[in-house]
Amino acid sequence: MADGLRLGIDTGGTFTDAVLCREDGAVFRTAKSLTTKHDLSIGIGKAIAAIMEPDGDDAVSADTIRLVSISTTLATNAVVESHGQPVCLIMIGETEAALDRGGLRQALGNDPAVFIAGGHQSNGDEATPLDIAAVETALDAHAGKVSAFAVSAHFGSRNPAHEQRVRDLVLERTGRPVTCGHELSANLDMPRRALTAVLNARLIPLIADLIEAVTGLLKQRGIAAPLMVVKGDGSLISAETARLRPVETVLSGPAASVVGARHLSGKDDLIVVDMGGTTTDIALLRGGKPQLDMDGANVSGWRTMVEAIAVHTVGLGGDSEIRLDDEKQLVAGPRRAVPLSLLAHEYDDVLPVLKKQANRAYAKTYDGRFAIRQRKLVEGAAKLSASEQRIWDNLADGPVALEVLLADRAPEQPLRRLVDRGLVAISAFSPSDAAHVLGLHHAWNAEAARLGGRIWARKEIRSGKMIAADEREFAQTVFDLVIKQAGEALVLAVLDAEGMAVPDRLGAVTRRLLSAAFSGKDDPTQRSELQVDLRFRTPVAGIGAPAATYYPAFGQRTGTQIELPPHADVSNAVGAVAGGVMQTVRVLISAPNEFVYRVHLPDGLKDFPSFESAAAEAQEQASAMARQQALDAGAGTVHVDCARDDRFVKQMGGRDLFVESTVTAVATGRPSLG
């Protein structure tokens, strides 16, 4: 029997992994279960049961568990796939033109935005009084239609008084969760603070479900150890902190995978590629430390204000939906689909439908596609429309073929809205199905995968030209497609890390050259006189369940050294218990005039007659806040380091003029063990 164990749990889009590590970091036992999005506790419970009470092995006593920590890709996947509950954004002191900056309008989608008079000046003084009546009117109009509110004010990071007043009104008047921009970042750039607040508000129900599921299961088993969650920078926070600031768990999964890859491989320099069911996350490890993105986590094009590892995230995974783009080219992702092989493995009535569709003489639009409930409706969430409710009710007993669900020319838009909210998932052919057809994967229903491949093979990409001769040729095409897209993502990630501005869309010539580099030497589709050789100097560590399927072939085609560390398929869960607590607080000192030095604090502004006295106050306050945040985040003993960055400009005559100063306090510590 092992003593002093740490339980790491990683809840991904497809699998939930569990690992038990000893106090010295050695892996004691691992387990894996399917993620059950409609009720997370089912998948998590199976993974915990498998690791605590394995068949033919000694059971683990609850009192030996000293720490439980979770990493998750749920928040990242929700951002990539544009899923989440509807929110209302309240912008103070801004006009609608602010939505056109920082991608805010696209991120909001159809969610409402309200513009309220108010806001502050850059020095923290009030610019315009807050229009309380307008706030109350907006809350009454939108409270019944959204699940949460996000609040961001003009120069709210310099003086959060108006954001705090609106937050209090939201709680008093609606009881809905609310996120303020200043709570997430002290940096300027109001649209990006607003974007981060919107994402945080959307993610609150998602992360709350995860934490409640784990908490309930631990209680059932009598495990009283502290519960932690991995942040996007690889450090840990308490479960209660994660409930309030779930956006900080964006990139939690890839951050944990980098920490886990370093721990498992023992190598200090790696390109870590974490391929899951929905996304592929690429990060660089240099000198044993992950590179951090100080400009804020960039997830699927959204530049947030969450400090996280510098990671390149693309919508490519083992369960990516295979589709034709507008140019009739085969593409994997960015959205996830439930693999047909998995759906048929779980539901017996799926296979007969696929057989009927594959064997009939003519093809239909929705062949090989199903819909299934993904999550339960959240109490108090925005109500469904009548057409959405009809679809929801029709899915009550399990998956339904789209040709049935959308019969009689029923509109697709209500189904799309349910998918966008993360309530319903589409099942379709995926790389996991291709792996089943090729005999590379055997966990689910291979016959369903073959039928899905057959349905795809007979699709026309142009008149009289079928996509493939049969299901096996189509599956090989998908396999090669994943390797090519994975290779492109690796190239873009490395160039981005080296400071090169890379466009979101590659040009036709560049894409052709990369395609030639990542294709097999005998690939008949590469009929060109050009031979392109491209390899990576630093070893590539393949992490995640699908990595072992695709990256060895990638290494063979490019001559790149591929590392598949032991327990690579549960690296995220290992990383969840290998990290520590770190909290950073920044306090600004400004100078409203030549004789006043102003310290900007969350509870108000403090003015001082000298810079020395202002700096001393800022350092004392920053250190105290960082220490308390680290303790609240679950640290045991805490160490605080402080640094100051002063900005001066030279005046005529050589005299230094003070502009501003930032005091940064970083509190670190190991998690408090039960």
pLDDT at 398: 94
pLDDT tens column, 436-453: 999 999 999 999 999 999
What one-character-per-residue DSSP string does 618-650 give?
HHHHHHHHHHHHHHHTTBSS-EEEEEEEEEEEE
Residue of 442, 512, 431 lying closest to 474 (CA atoms): 431
CA distance 345 to 330: 26
CA 609 to CA 594: how far, in whole Å? 10
pLDDT for 286 equals 87
Predicted confidence at residue 110, as pLDDT, reads 86
DSSP code string of 358-397: HHSSS--TTTT-EEEE-SPPPTTSPPPPHHHHHHHHHTTT
Task: Give the pLDDT of residue 665.
Answer: 95
Mark the ranges of the chain whose per-residue pLDDT is less than 70.
1-3, 56-57, 80-82, 297-302, 378-382, 463-464, 500-512, 516, 520-530, 674
Q: Which amino acid belongs to residue 471?
A: E
Distances (CA, A) of 121 to 76, 156, 157, 457: 34, 9, 11, 62
Q: Which two tokens stand for residue 246?
A: 């779930």
DSSP one-letter code for 246? G
- State the pLDDT at residue 227: 92
- The pLDDT of residue 357 is 96
At residue 542, the pLDDT reads 92
Q: Residue 37 region, left (φ>0) first, then alpha (ψ -120 to 50), else beta?
A: alpha
Quickly count: other Cβ atoms within 10 Å of residue 538's Cβ.
Answer: 15
pLDDT at 1: 47
Residue 380: the pLDDT is 62
Greatest alpha-carbon pair distance for the chain in Å reads 88
- Dihedral angle computed from the Cα positions of residues 355, 360, 364 and 369, in that order, rounded to the nearest 10 degrees: 0
* Whole-prediction pTM: 0.72
In 421-470, which ranges are continuous DSSP H helix? 431-437, 446-457
pLDDT of residue 366: 94
Let me know the angle formed at the C-alpha of 198 by 191 and 119, rounded to the nearest 5 degrees: 45
Residue with tokens 């925005």: 382
Say how far apart CA 90 and CA 198 lie, in whole Å: 10
Compute how many other C-beta atoms are within 10 angstroms of the C-beta atom of residue 501. 6
